[in-house]
Structure 1
Amino acid sequence: MSHLLEPLVVRHTHRIPLPTGPAGQGDVAARQFDAALMSVGFKLSAELLERLSGLSEGTVVDLAVRTLGTVREMVGDHVAHNAYFIDFPAHVPDTFEFWTRCITEALADDTARPGTIAQLESGVVDLLTLPSYGTYRHTHAEMLARHDELIAAAGDRMTVLHLGGTADEEVGALYLALAGSSTPLGEDGLTDLAALARHCVNGAQPEAIPVRENRAVVNEARLRAGAGLLLDTVTDVLRLACALSDGDVTLQTATRFKGLSRPVRRALLAGLDSVVEASPAKLADVSAWREDWKRLGERLHPHEYPQWPHAAEVFAVARGEKQARSLDSRVEELLAMHDVTGATQLLRSAPGKLFRSLDRLLRMALTQDERDAVVAAAEQVAPGVSGRVVLSVREHFHNRAGATGERRVFINRLGRAWVTEDERPPVLPPERGRLIAALDAEIRRRLPAAQRVLVDPAVLDVALPLSGKATTAGLGVLPRGSVSPVDGELLRFFVYWKEAQQRTDFDLSALMLDERYRTVAWLSYTALTELEGEHSGDITEAPDGASEFINLRLGAARGTYIVPQVNIFAGEGFEEVEESFFGFMLREGEQQGRPFEPATVRMKSELRGPGRVALPLAFRRAEDGSWTAKWLHLYLRGTPAANRVEGNRVSVATLLRGMVEREYLTVGYVTGLMAEGEGRGDGGTSVVVWDGGTVPSGPVTFIGMERPEGLHPDSRVITPENLRDLIPE
């Protein structure tokens, strides 16, 4: 296996593929490797440390260099984090005092003095014109020299790296897991899958690839290797064409198709021809992506290949020369005539579409017979609906108990969010209850049999990852809607960005709200200090990368909610910069150290999304004073420039309220269904909450935040890295 794939295994599984090399006395190097890992919050498992101790020193050192590079990037320690105020969080000045000092220094500068005087006379001073504002006044090394070494604390993060199987086994297993995932992968997951698919194209393949985007990525690798394509719809071919052009396989944004070689054109047209020949009704799918097909046709030249007439029909439909009526249009026609029963019967042939239409059908039903027909159809077709859709609909109806007029949160596939009043009439309780019971029964039926399940209570409030778009790549990142405890006295946010082509200014801010979502205070470049904490200072450009920090004392917080956000003040967007990420650290009250200490990082996530304001997560204080984090992964549209926390307070508060009031299906929901099988005398699943002590000697299914040491090697382990495995097919 190329060492290029080793980091993928480490990042996705927290395992190091079985190290190989000449035997030797590697114990000293292994202990040094372990110590270096601990400085960034990682550690070797006892089994892995023992394995390395029996290898040669050179082998251990080579592995250490590769692995340290990987984990440092995972935690955000691969870049230099400087702070504008060299002593941060100590000696951060009052905002007005700081601005006055910058003006005074500008007046002492012969070059800046005339312009500064002119601005003062006009009554408005642009901070960006002041020489000492917005750029580092010291080097990274000078900043480090001003801070004491970090004193280790019991609460510091320690992520254990375990011993894996052989390199080929680990890479193959990761490929099968990603390709066969029952939920869509995020952008980074698809990129990793593409690399793995190229390596594993001639090896074992998943029994099924249920997610179409995953299939497109796998098909690209198969096409380039000359293997057969996996196609059963015309849209599979369209997605493959997007992958070949480095475009969007989700089809959410238009792809500019590249020129395609003759062999590739032949493969795509032959694939289209076989799909349509086998099922002409699939031409109905063309209309949904009509414009994309027209543009692709200009690259494929189907008229040059008369041997594939069925492929030519696809482009005839796209141009409107041939009719292929879709199921959606026929359903809409029936609903326009208020024929709910007829529309329901028609949708039975497409169980997934029926499930996605249940709320609308029940709202339109005027009689009890119509409502009964809708629910009965759902019960009958449920076995043919994907587990992800069943769970999504179950979560939807769980949140449909409220009255008309409540807030409704919309979040698209890209994470862009907005809120509006919910004007839909309610789903009547009898039908809602009957549907929920049927969906619970269907999920329970699909859950895999396991004699013993060991559950870490810390994972029970983690939301099920019903879509890879509901999370981001990084370390310690949980799906949208998850709730996790926050233990520590000091909470420190950080953002890092590096511009690609033009001056780019990201601003880290934290908004504090009371229990009624009203603004209490905020920390930002316009409010450097508050009772709760300090801001590290405004950096206004990042040609070599830049960081900003916010330090918060949770015990001093006056509000109920803390909402960190990253605002784009100027320049490139989150998807345009060379690199950008957000995270938070937790420290004990007396812990010293640098502004950025990798061992205290609890979460680091990539910032890649639409809009100009990022809302990664929010923190909430309970009545007993404890704090929890709720994961958002949201982006607001914002304005083209000059986004500030002061300008989006109302929209953030409204969105937060909608997110807090929404309840998500969690790991606790699934383990609860598993536990319902106990005591029935049928050998059902036994679910045991793990107390953190000794693990059982035999194999178990372990569900938790991190794999504990000492698990039986035949155990099935589910952690946040592979939580998608809890989603039944």
Structure 2
Amino acid sequence: MQNTIFLNRQLKVIAPEGNQTLSNTYVATALKNLEGLGFGFSKELITRVQTMSELSFFKFYKEILSSLKQMVGAHIRHKPMYPNFPSEVMEMDEATLYVNAILHYFTLEQPVKAIGERSPLVHSKELQLIQLGTEMEFVELMTGLMAAKTSISPTDKEDLTWFLSTYDDTEQVLPKELPQKENMAFIIGTLLRLDKITNVTATAYLKTATDILRLAVALSDGDVSLAEVTRFRSFKNRERRFLLAAMELCPSLQLEDMVRYKNRWIRLGERLHPSAHQRRYPKANTAFNAMRNNTIIKTFNGRIEQLLEEKNISEAIALLTSRPGEFARRLDHLLRLADQNNHSQIGIAAEFEKVVSEVSTPVLLQVLAHFRHRNNAQDLRVFFPKGNVAKLFGKHNTLDPLSELVCQMMVSICESALRQRFSELPPVGKVFIDDNLTRYPVPFSQRSASKALRTLSRGSQLPLSDDDIVRFFVWWKEGKVNGKETGQVDVDLSAYFLDENWAYKEHISYTNLRSDYSFAVHSGDIVTAPRGASEFIDVNIPQALKEGCRYVMMNVYSFSEQPYKDLPECFAGWMGRNDGNTGEIFEPSTVQNKWDITADATIAVPLIIDLETRMVVWTDLSLTRGLSTANNIEGSHSALEAVGKAFMSFNKVTLHDLFRLHAESRGEIIEKKEDADAVFAEYEGITPEAIEVIISEYLV
């Protein structure tokens, strides 16, 4: 498991050093097999495995091979409905395609046809080299993940659970600070359940009432972001006593904090029985009584809202300076009110500058990006709500412009504060920053990110390979999940084509297996998958551009409406091909990215391709049922167009911005990469995929 985690995250492995000489035949055979998956060993790793015994090497190789197959989606057999896709579908007449589809729906059988010979694969993808890692590097990876300044993903939590349950003396590697509250609740909750942390140590991380609520949610396997309501489980006696004691010792157990989630505290009280322990925990019992008895509590946000409604800007600012983070979030509203009521916008900026040093780095970066793009002409304002499902909200932009001078002041204030903060970190020397990093947003939130071969933040723009054909794929399986049968599962792969104005051009789906203009083709609709099923779509980029297509959105629908989280397995991805009829239909070495679809949703919109710029925009979005009367692409046209347009208009702070601020504060930016002490680039040094490093070391 350790090497599986290391491979997925950093393409590194730990290989034990032996004292023997392994035959080159074994090494060469292993490397040839890995080459078929698109991977190879670095020189250092080859040297290390050559010292291993045959038995040790076979065990090591078997684990590596299994992990890599899982990473690219080659661990199962892909069998499309039409085995000679794409030529078979393109050559077949409409009547035969229609009859085959009807028979398949009635009998669940696939058309029987001999599989023709396919020419060898025409492709030359550069191998990804697996590096030799160390035990210390792995531990640093895990501890860095725990110290993240932003929310972590479900995959991160799985890996941390394994690490915390496997490693001894976890309190020794536990960071002194767990700055992100959601992560703190998950980590401390995991250690408590594993009985690998003392009550004293655990309680020290709980600073507020909401911290304790999140911990209770974590112990109940709920949503620690608190975006969704959690049904609390029955706690053990020792857990009840711990939570009540934590409330009693909490340095900031404020009723104002509790009333934000009043009903959840009432439900939690029903599980903790505070009145039965009121002598021992009187402070906790009093707090629960206040929630149950509807005690009127004036809240900070309530006072701010009242002052803003009264347009009492001066008092609102005076109050907000006590909570700089909230001040930062309300800046735009304050500046608009000032503009409308003859107050000084520059004065508001000056007041914010006095407390800016107390605002967290992620918030400052987002404020910076907001004011940098504040007056850009755009139809939509876009929001990612917190929670475990990757949703996107867009609303029409009705904000009046702000003074450019004030916007520039806000950007300058944020940048100055960040430079000052970063200057206190260790120097980085000469720094090279790749201009391509302007295409990658800073990963502020990973709580709903999918597990992927290449894990990136939403909005990242990845260059396509030079191939003319993009091949989308999806694989899913029916079966049993948590003891419950899924029943028949029908997952549909679709592609949605739009012109440069985001107007509909064409779609490819189970109702339209091939384009009228011959630029796209579907492998055939499979409606049940007891042993697993695959669907593919080929998109010919030059032909699609010739017909006026600018964007293509990949979509995966659960037509039978089971949420993806309730399936034994479902994953998707894309490949690059020069000729769709050469090689096997699924060639692991051509996989550009593969990800697991596990959201509590029935529609996935993982990516948008800008065919003109040949960029893949990573969206990783999930939508719930309710867009139309049928859960398919035909019923979702307007929603998909809105999603695409909203996502492409989203303004964000980039990794180039972040690394530039670090370099300007504690180093020297240079033009030649070979002369640099630190490299920040698309494929070298600190890359966009080094999310664990970015969120723990650069968002300080």
1:226-273 per-residue CA deviation (whole Å, 9 max, x = no partner) reads 422121111222111122222222222222222111111111111111
Alignment of 1:686 onto 2:669: yes
1:621-640 per-residue CA deviation (whole Å, 9 max, x = no partner) reads 33xxx411112122333438
Pick from 262, 269, 283 the counterpart of residue 297 of structure 1. 269
Superposition RMSD in Å: 2.6
Alignment of 1:284 onto 2:256: yes
The residue correspondences of 1:217-236 to structure 2 (distance < 5 A) are 217-223=186-192, 224-227=195-198, 228-229=201-202, 230-236=205-211
1:620 deviates by 0.9
1:601 deviates by 0.6
Alignment of 1:491 onto 2:461: no
Pick from 582, 596, 599 the counterpart of residue 606 of structure 1. 596
1:470 deviates by 6.7
Pick from 224, 228, 238 the counterpart of residue 249 of structure 1. 224
C-alpha separation in 1, matches of 2:97 and 2:687: 54
Alignment of 1:84 onto 2:71: no
CA contact (8 A) 2:385 2:393 kept: no
C-alpha separation in 1, matches of 2:99 and 2:575: 31
Pick from 395, 398, 406 the counterpart of residue 372 of structure 2. 398
Alignment of 1:173 onto 2:152: no
CA contact (8 A) 1:22 1:59 kept: no
1:182-212 per-residue CA deviation (whole Å, 9 max, x = no partner) reads 1111222222222223344233222321111
Task: Select between 145-154 and 232-241 the one with higher mean Cα deviation.
Answer: 145-154
1:109 paired residue number: none
CA contact (8 A) 2:561 2:602 kept: no
Pick from 86, 98, 102 the counterpart of residue 96 of structure 2. 98
Does the residue aligned with 1:522 lie in a helix, a strand or coil? strand
TM-score, with length taken from structure 2: 0.90
1:31 deviates by 2.8
Amino acid at match of 1:654: A
Pick from 55, 58, 61 the counterpart of residue 58 of structure 2. 61
1:433 paired residue number: 408
Note closer, same or farther for the CA distance 1:717–1:644 as it changes in structure 2 (3 Å cut).
Answer: closer
2:22 paired residue number: 25
Task: Select between 508-517 and 198-207 the one with higher mean Cα deviation.
Answer: 198-207
C-alpha separation in 2, matches of 1:267 and 1:76: 44
Note closer, same or farther for the CA distance 1:638–1:260 as it changes in structure 2 (3 Å cut).
Answer: closer
C-alpha separation in 1, matches of 2:110 and 2:262: 52
CA contact (8 A) 1:616 1:632 kept: yes
CA contact (8 A) 2:471 2:574 kept: yes
CA contact (8 A) 2:513 2:521 kept: yes
1:515 paired residue number: 500
C-alpha separation in 1, matches of 2:698 and 2:531: 42
Amino acid at match of 1:494: F
C-alpha separation in 2, matches of 1:99 and 1:317: 68
1:607-650 per-residue CA deviation (whole Å, 9 max, x = no partner) reads 2335432211111133xxx4111121223334386222222222
The residue correspondences of 1:347-358 to structure 2 (distance < 5 A) are 347-358=320-331
C-alpha separation in 2, matches of 1:248 and 1:580: 22
- Structure 2: state its 5+ residue gaps: 481-485
C-alpha separation in 1, matches of 2:294 and 2:536: 59
Alignment of 1:203 onto 2:172: yes
C-alpha separation in 2, matches of 1:215 and 1:152: 49
1:364 paired residue number: 337
1:341 paired residue number: 314
Alignment of 1:194 onto 2:161: yes
C-alpha separation in 1, matches of 2:189 and 2:491: 36
Pick from 625, 647, 652 the counterpart of residue 635 of structure 2. 647
Note closer, same or farther for the CA distance 1:452–1:98 as it changes in structure 2 (3 Å cut).
Answer: farther
CA contact (8 A) 1:284 1:327 kept: yes
Amino acid at match of 1:645: I
1:348 deviates by 1.3
Alignment of 1:36 onto 2:15: no
Does the residue aligned with 2:394 lie in a helix, a strand or coil? strand
1:510 deviates by 0.8
2:123 paired residue number: 153
Amino acid at match of 2:265: W
Note closer, same or farther for the CA distance 1:689–1:661 as it changes in structure 2 (3 Å cut).
Answer: farther
CA contact (8 A) 2:428 2:663 kept: no
CA contact (8 A) 1:418 1:636 kept: no
C-alpha separation in 1, matches of 2:580 and 2:688: 35
Note closer, same or farther for the CA distance 1:456–1:27 as it changes in structure 2 (3 Å cut).
Answer: farther
1:218 deviates by 1.6
1:577 paired residue number: 567
2:551 paired residue number: 561
1:142-170 per-residue CA deviation (whole Å, 9 max, x = no partner) reads 98x6454753633x25322111112xx24
Does the residue aligned with 1:602 lie in a helix, a strand or coil? strand
Pick from 621, 643, 647 the counterpart of residue 634 of structure 1. 621
Does the residue aligned with 1:33 lie in a helix, a strand or coil? helix
C-alpha separation in 2, matches of 1:208 and 1:389: 18
CA contact (8 A) 2:519 2:539 kept: yes
Alignment of 1:538 onto 2:535: no
1:670 deviates by 2.6
1:538-559 per-residue CA deviation (whole Å, 9 max, x = no partner) reads 0112232221110111111121
1:90 deviates by 1.6
Amino acid at match of 1:522: H
C-alpha separation in 2, matches of 1:671 and 1:591: 43
Pick from 7, 10, 13 the counterpart of residue 13 of structure 1. 10
